[in-house]
Amino acid sequence: MKGDNQLNQTLLIIDAQQELIEGNEKECPVFNKEILIKNINRVIEQAKEADVPVVFVRDFDVAEGKGEGFQVHKEINKPLAAQTFDKSATNSFHGTGLLEHLKTQQIEHVVIMGCQTQHCIDSAVRTATISGFDVTLVGDGHSTNGNDILSAEQIIKHHNRTLHGHYNVEHFSVVRNAEEDLFSPTHDSYR
């Protein structure tokens, strides 16, 4: 349970949607999808134990914004109390109530997971740091597809390296893995 002296935190899971993770006739599944789902569920359990709220963001571009493909992946244990925001842009904070929600809840630390690494995950991490939040990116909790220049694994490794220690003066991001105690943030040891 959250004590009086602990940070207000949230777990933010971005675009962990059925069709995006599994792929479709045009797109292949994301890299290491089974590990991604397992790690998302692992961190959701950590969040429950730490009394940390979970927030999901879904992208209207996935499955044309409808049906089962648009929903959070069926193997992800979405808490009943989880808040959900839908977006039209790459950036989870653009055109959604996400920033206002986090500010209203006086959130100080955001743990981020989901898809896709070089698009929605990258923009969320960077936007969160300039919006007044410390960020922990779960290094084995985000994924993507490759492209004609880099493999999915290269993209993930590159972003984990780039976003670990990425700062915007007062707030910055660190990269940690799912088995770590993510809701005991380590930012102060780097300041």
d(CA 177, CA 106): 25
C-alpha closest to that of 19 among 66, 78, 56:
66
- Residues, the chain: 191
Q: Is 181 exposed, middle or buried (0-12, 13-18, 19+ CB in 10 A)?
A: exposed
Per cent of the chain over pLDDT 90 is 91
Tens-place pLDDT, residues 15-44? 999 999 999 999 999 999 999 999 999 999
- Give me the domains of the chain, ranges plus CATH numbers: 9-189 (3.40.50.850)
**pTM of the full predicted structure?**
0.96
Six-digit token string for 71:
């929903």
* Residue 181: DSSP 8-state: -
Expressed in percent and rounded to 5, the helix, strand and coil fractions of the chain are 35, 25, 40
